[in-house]
A and B are shown apart, each in its own frame.
Chain A
Amino acid sequence: MTQLDEVFGDQEQRRRDRRPDTRPGRRRRPPRRGVGSRIAGVIGEILITLGVLLGLFVVWQVWWTDVVANRSAEASIQQWESTLPESGDGIGEPRYDEPPLETSVAAGQQFATMYVPAWGQEWSYPIAAGVDYATVLDNGFVGHYTETALPGQLGNFGLAGHRQSYGRPFHGVDKLSAGDEIIVRTANAWYVYHVSDYEIIKPHEVDVLAPVPRQPGVQPTERMITLTTCHPLWSIAERYVVYGELDHWVDPADGYPETLEPISSEVR
């Protein structure tokens, strides 16, 4: 405010200077500021600048990273879906037999799309290989721990995603309850998992990703899915983990899972 006053004051002063001032004893310039007050002014400006920078950082983190990541996620889903073969138009028959085999892709590449109807019918995010921050997680993707099983296969399909910022795919992780569907679509199948349980763990507890979660070394007999994300919000102290089990799969040539019916035109 004082800056602006000074500025406007200056102009006022200049305008007056152009006219000859004949009044005697009139001071032409404002009194000079002392050294102390100048230093205080500079420090004040620096502090205000720091405050504004911090505010901008929060705006960037909370809002802008979402904008960028969501744009990239949507573009990737569209691009990936355009590579898929023609699929069935309608609700596909749930299959409980042996699902098709999946093959791994290069790090950072999308190989599946994820749907969670409990988070909204329009909720969908691409799944890419690897959990690298710069290329996968911060790019709006859900990341696949490549050392874990591929979707639909025996063992544990391990995924990580942001819970806040960068598109925050797993924002609703604490709203999932047992029985909710986690649907993963690959080029070969729709896999419908049912949420079974959740857990809050310390960041080093990697055995949640074991083929049989929490029992490393045990031979898997089930087809599991595990989601990991941060907990609490805006903290790195713990991780929120959700477990699920494969319920059935659907052949894309036959159709799509029943739960996705309302958005059938979008997911086809």
Chain B
Amino acid sequence: MYGLIWRALPGPLLVRILLALLLIAAVVAVLFLWVFPAIEPHIPINEQTVGDLG
């Protein structure tokens, strides 16, 4: 899986490393900004109010 991605990256080694880091940064950004905030309410670790259906 990751081997395929690595082989699909163009350019010499240094460019590939930079592209790979960029890809990782993009994935982390998507997770932090959209994915994690969307799934967090379904993971019951954070309830501060009384009357919550805990």
B 36-51 binary contact with A (CB < 8 Å = 1; else 0): 1000110011111111
Which chain B residue lies CB-closest to A60?
Answer: B36
Q: Is B45 a contact partner of A203 (Cβ separation < 8 A)?
A: no
Residues of B close to A206: CB separation below 8 A: 50-51
The yes or no answer to B11 lying at the interface (CB within 8 A) is: no
- Contact among A3, A131, A209, A234 with B6 in the assembled complex (CB-CB below 8 Å): A3
Chain A: interface residue count, which band?
Answer: 35 or more
Given contacts A7-B7, A60-B32, A234-B45, contact A45 B50 (CB under 8 A): no
CA distance in complex: A204, B54 (Å):
8
Q: Is A236 a contact partner of B45 (Cβ separation < 8 A)?
A: yes
Given contacts A3-B2, A203-B54, contact A131 B31 (CB under 8 A): no
The yes or no answer to B18 lying at the interface (CB within 8 A) is: no
CA distance in complex: A140, B51 (Å):
21
Q: Is A7 a contact partner of B6 (Cβ separation < 8 A)?
A: yes
| A-B CB contact pairs (8 Å), 9 listed | A3-B3, A7-B6, A60-B36, A143-B49, A228-B48, A228-B49, A230-B47, A236-B45, A236-B46
Which residues of A does B touch, CB under 8 Å?
3, 6-7, 10-11, 42, 45-46, 53, 56-57, 60-61, 64, 131, 133, 137, 143, 145, 160-166, 170, 201, 203-206, 208-209, 228-230, 234-237, 239, 241
